[in-house]
Structure 1
Amino acid sequence: MAKHSGLGRGLESLLGETAGEVGTLEAGQAEIPLDEIRVNPNQPRKLFDDAALDELADSIRQNGLIQPIVVRRHVDGYEIVAGERRYQASRRAGLMTVPAIVRDVSDEDMLKIALIENLQREDLNPIETAMGYHRLIEENGLRQQDLADLISRSRSSIANSLRLLELPEGIQELLRAGKLTPGHARAILSVDGEENRMSLAERVVREGLSVRQTEKLASWISVQASEGEKETETRKVRPAAYAIAERRLRDVLKLPVAVRRVRGKNKLEIQFEDEGQLSALISLLTSAEGDSGFDKDE
């Protein structure tokens, strides 16, 4: 049975009443200099929206930081447990200190808090979310359903998110930058082959294709690839009798001849240059009266 490693406690149990973005200040909080605070190196969120940070910074300048951040003691001062967005905005606002609550948090809980806090608030881009899911599952021995129950998401949404990590790094970068949506990515995943996927992704961005258009294009690419595979397979198993027939027909008709199988159908192709050759060919074929000009076995 999967071990939950205490994840089911949720942020409120791990942090107390400080888990939200807004709330009531605690009596025991302290004003801590920003220079004594360092960010969590395991923070899954790598990109912060500049415009959103500027808006929050403006609000902090006018009203102060209402909700304290949560930190733990560190050899160099303090380390952020929850609230890096507020911390970054406070720096932009020019604050020298921020209200903070000091908690005794283990390294294991630090990772859980950082991941769950961001995942629940949808502060991550699609790739950061997928990597967060992956780390929670791998490092805590969870099943996809365990994680879905923990963060109130459907198991299918967890599975779809994890599939994004199968994409080439170039496409993951487009997702991080917001140039592709998860809907685009799922359509691209339906195409086999890294080269085909990358080519499709670049076309989607270049032409500004919608998710629906991407799905149709992905379907067309898959069909073309499938037909190409069938033709390749046909050439691999081409009967020896086809080559014999081609050679004997060329000898009799004195024209280029091809005997092959295309998309499940056998074809005999005879090339001629002009009406004169066509007339001579017809005369030869109609005068044969059933005599093929060659034996079945050679």
Structure 2
Amino acid sequence: MSAIRTYADERRPLDRNWLHKQRRHLRLWRRFVAQAVVRETHYRAHFLTTLLVGLVQLGLGIVPILLLFGYANEVRGWSRAEVIALVGMYQIVSGLMATFVAPNLNRMTTYITEGELDAILLRPVSSQFYLTLRWINVAELSNVASGIVVLILGLVQAGIRPNPLEILQALVLATTGLLLLVCVWSAMSFLAFWLQSVNPIGFVFLNLTEAGRYPLAFFPTAVRAFLTFAFPVAFATTFPIRALAGDLPWPPLAAGLGLAFVAVLLVRLLWHRGLHSYASASS
């Protein structure tokens, strides 16, 4: 495997300009998107099936909220409309992850145990970039669209009219939360370098993200800390809604950006550590 790593290093572009590399990766990612769109046009029934499944899941997520607020107008400072908006935000985040992240990280066990990683290491691109963003499930964008509709309906029903600064704050928090979740899932998937299979870990991750359907205030203090710092789904759902409502100060935004920076560095280090311990499955 050392020979493969050496050859991969030699194949990397001689141009070390950082911006040039990022443009190359962006062009490559656009090709991934184009291929995904072409694949989706060949299986149009898949798009309709994904849309129907997403709508059913969205409905199942709203039903408990309707039952809960059938006995109260407000729970822990949250109205029914605000929680519905939160469900819409969760649908957007989960849809984006299902579109761009899940199709790739769910393949980690196959990449490593069946030797497919060997061919990827020989490509003149970042192997981590390729493994994380190669496959795209365009049909899942329908869930993002339905989530946006529910989010807007919830905000309108709650009488929330955010100003541009609050919208910007919510967008930054949602993006930060999404990045943090991707880092957590990536770190869990990269354990495939040392474990026989990480598929069960992926199921655990998806089950934990279900907590994002509910406001952080609904949970005990210890669980709130876990969902904020250890498994930071709160940055992707609860905090953006509070920002849109104008109830969130700036420190959580700064904390989220700091956590995201640290998380990206740690995931990058874990990836390199895994590559050093990787023994080719094809050799």
TM category, shorter: under 0.3
Question: Which of the two has greater helix per residue?
Answer: 2
**Larger Rg over CA atoms:** 1
TM-score (normalised: structure 1):
0.21
**Comparing both chains, which one has the higher relative contact order based on Cα–Cα distances under 8 Å and sequence gaps of 6 or more?**
2
TM-score (normalised: structure 2):
0.22
